Amino acid sequence: MARKFKAEVSELLDLMIHSLYSDREIFLRELISNGADALDKARFLGLTREDLAPVEGEPGVRVTVDAEAKTIVVEDDGIGLTEAEAVKNLGTIAHSGSKQFLAALQEGDASAPELIGQFGVGFYSAFMVADEVVVESKSALPDEPAIVWKSAGKGTFDIGPGDKATRGTRITLHLREDCEEFADTWRLQGIVKKYSDFLPWPVLVDGEQANTAKAIWQETPTTVTDEEANAFYKTLSNDWQDPAHRIHVKVDSPLQYAAMLFIPSERPYDLFMQHVDRGPRLYARRVLIMEHAGELLPDWLRFIRGVVDSEDVQLNVSREMLQKTPVVRKIREALIKRILKEFKSITRREAEEGEEHPYAKLWHNFGVLLKEGAYHEHGETRDKLVELLRFNAVSHDDERGLLSLAEYKEAMPEDQDTIWYLTAESRDSALASPHLEAFRKKGWDVLVLTHPVDEWLVQAVTEFDGVKLQSVSRGELELDDEVAADAADLTGLGPWLQGLFDDSVAEVRASGRLTDSACVLVDSEHGISGNMERILREAQQDAPKAQRVLELNPGHPLVKNLAQLHADGKTDAAEPIARLLLDDAMLLEGTVKDPAAIGRRLQALLQSASEAALR
Ligand code: ADP
């Protein structure tokens, strides 16, 4: 009986068949890697169950070609598929990223073929080269009948009872006319070598082993070539680019483990997606225990790919047990240390290698995660991370290169004793902010923080090397003598304004931070900042209201006029001007809550200004 594919599968198949011509050979990589996964699953299940069907001979993946019949068969001795599993796994797309993959295909994104493996749509790549795919499978679980699944990739598939006698899956591809070039042993051997060399299972092409199948991470680090390691990284990560950096360690005591970790050269697409499995592969004595052992690295190192292999980890360890295993915790700590050391040495190379900028690249891709780390970690780890942080500043943008806190501190003039920063939505809005006026006058640099994570970072990192970090928009700044003299004129205006703005600001006072602007909103000493309130609200989270303070520049003509109007008892004339002054302060920081009301007030004021001009 013919069954229909889920709609997204049909769409996907159609796009894959019609848009990916150049990289069709990857179908073999995908089918072999599915076979190896199935072997891993069977081996893993076999650790705890004795009733799995046995394998005759050495388990592996076998590829056979029939040049006459124009067929390719890919067969494994893995876990196999029951009927229900075949319907579910070969008729739908489970992976959450598949929508993105479809979008990449539709937009003709050149990297689409490389994404196939990452998006969990590998099986369907068979239809890029075949106009009929037959899957015969027998589950390794006891008493499961063999099945046959068949499809021409045109919207439907058939499924029924089969006659495969041994456990595993046999996939027969009837090659499309324009893909007959693949019915060639030599060609297929080359493809296996290229993509599947380090799979830990033998892959045989027409009876001959075509891959190395060695555990490269167990080799002595100095003997592994970049070429080998990069090839291994690609099979492991589904990334098509070489990694930017590699960390390879083999340790014998006090713990025994080997790890090969990679820092990708680009940011993986799913870095900020939720519900994605993270963490390196975990092996115990070369047996794959877990595809993603998130327990081995903290979440902020989720961009690191690789493998960890330890004899000290029990073969049948469960995820729950893994969290509680002291060995795992110790390996995790050692890995964090080693990775931070690597980052540090990359910063040194940054200084030496001139044009290359390896650390700037790393920071560009993963700096946000290091900030996340500095927020979450404590003690020595945080200190090391803080040294690795890089910042934009008024004096430094991306083009001039970024600043470390040490460099900022080094450049501070003698009379400056605080590291100042400004959090804002963008660099432009930060640079336009009245908050910077006094700092410009003094010639003090200010760090410009524009990423949401920065608000969290500055809560955790409040000091560097004995110097306090402080926001330019928080708390009261000392008034210099000139400003203090003018401020005396505000004694009447201040309380009146405070009464007027009772529900929007906590205080009105004279400002020590303004030279040109009439007013500015600042955060009070305690509580969340206005920027944090904005970030939380944009993330649809309940945000407590930030306590804002309206600061007035007592020397500014507009403020002086307003004080005079108030002193003369002309509050009717003063009120609309005062309200627009507060609106203006909000406009300047980009946090206007009721633009329509401002529009109305502005029109009323313009009307009276125009009438005054006519008089
Ligand atoms: P992915 O492997 O990324 O999950 P695929 O489209 O390649 O996505 O495969 C879908 C699912 O079909 C797999 O997750 C697996 O459950 C099942 N499957 C595919 N090939 C095999 C196989 N050779 N043996 C057992 N199960 C398989």
Residue 38 Cβ < 6 Å to ligand 1? yes
How many angstroms separate the alpha carbon of residue 135 from the centre of ligand 1?
11
What confidence category does residue 431 fall into, taking pLDDT thresholds of 50, 70 and 90? very high
CB 240 within 8 A of CB 194: no
Residue 76 Cβ < 6 Å to ligand 1? yes
Position 21 scores a pLDDT of 60
Position 49 scores a pLDDT of 87
How high is the mean pLDDT of the chain? 89
pLDDT at residue 56 is higher than 80: yes
Beta strand 203-205 with 168-175 is unpaired
Residue 27 Cβ < 6 Å to ligand 1? no
Higher pLDDT, 471 or 484: 471
How many angstroms separate the alpha carbon of residue 320 from the centre of ligand 1?
25
pLDDT at residue 164 is higher than 80: yes
The Cα 551–Cα 324 span in angstroms is 53
What confidence category does residue 19 fall into, taking pLDDT thresholds of 50, 70 and 90? low
Higher pLDDT, 221 or 273: 221
Position 119 scores a pLDDT of 61
What confidence category does residue 110 fall into, taking pLDDT thresholds of 50, 70 and 90? low
Tell me what the mean pLDDT of segment 454-479 comes to: 91
Class of domain 2-209: alpha beta
Tell me the pLDDT tens digit for each residue of 330-363: 999 999 999 999 999 999 988 786 667 899 999 9
Position 114 scores a pLDDT of 61
What confidence category does residue 528 fall into, taking pLDDT thresholds of 50, 70 and 90? confident
How many angstroms separate the alpha carbon of residue 34 from the centre of ligand 1?
5
Position 94 scores a pLDDT of 57
Residue 121 Cβ < 6 Å to ligand 1? yes
Terminal alpha carbon distance of the chain: 90
The Cα 200–Cα 43 span in angstroms is 12
- The best mutation among 43, 77, 89 to test binding of ligand 1, ranked by most ligand atoms within 8 Å of the C-beta, falls on 89
Position 546 scores a pLDDT of 84
Residue 97 Cβ < 6 Å to ligand 1? no
CB 169 within 8 A of CB 135: yes
Beta strand 203-205 with 130-138 is unpaired
- The best mutation among 34, 61, 115, 236 to test binding of ligand 1, ranked by most ligand atoms within 8 Å of the C-beta, falls on 34
Position 77 scores a pLDDT of 97
SS3 510: strand
Over pLDDT 70: what percentage of the chain? 94
Position 415 scores a pLDDT of 92
The residue contributing the CA closest to ligand 1 atom 13 is 89
Tell me what the mean pLDDT of segment 357-371 comes to: 95
Domain boundaries of the chain, sorted by first residue: 2-209, 216-342, 390-472, 481-615
Over pLDDT 90: what percentage of the chain? 59
Position 486 scores a pLDDT of 79
Residues facing residue 422 across a β-bridge: 448
How many angstroms separate the alpha carbon of residue 144 from the centre of ligand 1?
18
The Cα 540–Cα 528 span in angstroms is 16
Residue 91 Cβ < 6 Å to ligand 1? no
The Cα 454–Cα 459 span in angstroms is 9
Residue 61 Cβ < 6 Å to ligand 1? no
Question: What is the CATH number that goes with domain 390-472?
Answer: 3.40.50.11260
What confidence category does residue 541 fall into, taking pLDDT thresholds of 50, 70 and 90? confident
Position 115 scores a pLDDT of 64
Position 131 scores a pLDDT of 94
How many angstroms separate the alpha carbon of residue 154 from the centre of ligand 1?
20
Q: Which fold has domain 216-342?
A: Ribosomal Protein S5; domain 2 (3.30.230)
Peptide bond just before 268 cis, omega within 30 deg: no
Position 529 scores a pLDDT of 87
The Cα 499–Cα 505 span in angstroms is 10
Q: Which fold has domain 481-615?
A: Four Helix Bundle (Hemerythrin (Met), subunit A) (1.20.120)
Residue 89 Cβ < 6 Å to ligand 1? yes
pLDDT at residue 96 is higher than 60: no
Position 194 scores a pLDDT of 82
Tell me the pLDDT tens digit for each residue of 134-154: 999 999 999 999 999 999 988
The residue contributing the CA closest to ligand 1 atom 18 is 34
Residue 385 Cβ < 6 Å to ligand 1? no
Instruction: Answer whether 390-472 and 481-615 agree in fold.
Output: no
Residue 169 Cβ < 6 Å to ligand 1? yes
Position 129 scores a pLDDT of 94
Position 381 scores a pLDDT of 97
Residue 136 Cβ < 6 Å to ligand 1? no
Tell me what the mean pLDDT of segment 510-522 comes to: 90
How many angstroms separate the alpha carbon of residue 415 from the centre of ligand 1?
65
Tell me the pLDDT tens digit for each residue of 373-426: 999 999 999 999 999 999 999 999 877 888 999 999 999 999 999 999 999 989
The pTM score is 0.77
Max mean pLDDT among 69-83, 152-166, 511-525 falls in 69-83
How many angstroms separate the alpha carbon of residue 551 from the centre of ligand 1?
63
